[in-house]
Amino acid sequence: MAEKKAVAKIEPNRINISVRPLSGVGVLLSYDVREPNKKLLLKERKRLMDFEKTPVKETEGRSEIITLFLNADGDLFREPKGKYCYSLSKERMREKIIRFLIDKNYQQTEIIQNEVGSVDTGSIRLAIGRINNNAKNLLGLKSKLIEGRKGSGYRINPQYKISK
């Protein structure tokens, strides 16, 4: 929950209360008070306190696209390469899966299977699970490199761009 800041400004005939989250747009409550009215002030004070207790939904900005590189040797990496490198040279099917999915929308598992020359779709699913696990651990990715959708297939997560 984000913190909020409240500022009350009392003038002779008006009370202005400005409430805003520290990271966003707020609310201005303005009241015309001809006579000091303790009930009104207590009511508005309670309303302000209730507002401060409500959680603020932070707007998530669009995530930055992370560029990954896949070289001819089968190394999938991001900068700095010495720290973030996943070598696919010994895992040819996994490398073929990634190369096939680059710049494509969702692809059915059966199509991926035929393209990479796999025996069955189960081995494709298993390979994609291992790719995601290794990419998370070796490349320091926060979300899956290859995302799947039931009925649609698999694709490279749009949060990542892979350059050959």
Q: Residue 164 has what pLDDT?
A: 84
* Torsion angle, alpha carbons of 87, 90, 92, 98, to 10: -10
Burial class (CB in 10 A: 0-12, 13-18, 19+), 7: exposed
Q: Residue 89 has what pLDDT?
A: 78
Poorest-confidence range of 32-46, 92-106, 120-134? 32-46
Q: Per the structure block, which two tokens stand in for 98?
A: 């990634």
Contacts of 115 (CB under 8 A, 6+ apart): 96, 100
Where in the chain are the domains?
Answer: 4-53, 66-163
b/e per residue 9-39 (b: at least 16 CB within 10 A) = eeeeeebebebebeeeebeebeeeeeeeeee
Instruction: Compute the distance between CA of residue 2 and CA of residue 72 in angstroms, rounded to an integer.
Output: 46
Q: Residue 65 has what pLDDT?
A: 87
pTM exceeds 0.85, yes or no: no
Q: Residue 128 has what pLDDT?
A: 94
Poorest-confidence range of 11-20, 28-37, 81-90, 108-117? 28-37
Mean pLDDT, the chain, rounded, equals 78
State how far the alpha carbon of 77 is from the alpha carbons of 9, 142, 163, in Å.
Answer: 55, 15, 10
User: Does residue 100 contact residue 116 with C-beta atoms inside 8 Å?
Assistant: yes
Class of domain 66-163: mainly alpha
Q: Residue 59 has what pLDDT?
A: 42
Instruction: For residue 158, name the pLDDT band (cuts at 50, 70, 90).
Output: very high
Residue pLDDT, tens place only, 65-84: 889 999 988 899 998 888 99
Instruction: Compute the distance between CA of residue 20 and CA of residue 132 in angstroms, rounded to an integer.
Output: 40
